[in-house]
């Protein structure tokens, strides 16, 4: 079934956003671009992690960016996938990211 968005942090296609040996509770939110090329996650360490989609192996490399002072509550892509917004929990900041 095709859904309008993809933000479920558990599933075969996003299994790799949880590093090997981790229980996955530190990942707070994920988002997948509409063209299904990129998945981003926000975690308890203030990091925004970018992966290629699907990300179904625990050994895949990510690009990680320190963005917020503590946990990242939400990660969302715009409809065209050219921008992403993240929301921090402790700092209550909204950061806009632009794809190069």
Spatial CB neighbours of 87, under 8 Å, sequence gap ≥ 6: 72, 73, 74, 93, 94
**Torsions phi, psi of 14, nearest 5?**
-130, 15
What are the sequence ranges of the domains in the chain? Answer: 12-98
pTM > 0.85: yes
Q: Could you check whether the bond before residue 54 is cis, i.e. omega within 30 degrees of 0?
A: yes
The pLDDT profile of the chain, 100 residues, written as one tens digit per residue, is 677 777 888 888 898 898 766 777 899 999 999 999 999 999 999 999 999 999 988 778 899 999 899 999 999 999 999 999 999 999 999 999 999 8
Tokens of 100: 């190069």
């Amino acid at each position: 079934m095709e859904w309008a968005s993809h933000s479920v942090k558990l599933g075969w296609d996003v299994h790799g956003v949880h590093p090997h040996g981790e229980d996955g509770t530190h990942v707070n939110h994920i988002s997948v671009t509409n063209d299904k090329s990129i998945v981003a996650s926000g975690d308890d360490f203030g990091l925004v992690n970018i992966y290629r989609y699907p990300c179904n192996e625990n050994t895949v490399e990510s690009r990680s960016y320190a963005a917020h002072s503590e946990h990242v509550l939400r990660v969302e892509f715009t409809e065209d996938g050219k921008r992403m917004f993240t929301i921090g929990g402790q700092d209550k900041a909204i950061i806009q990211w632009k794809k190069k």
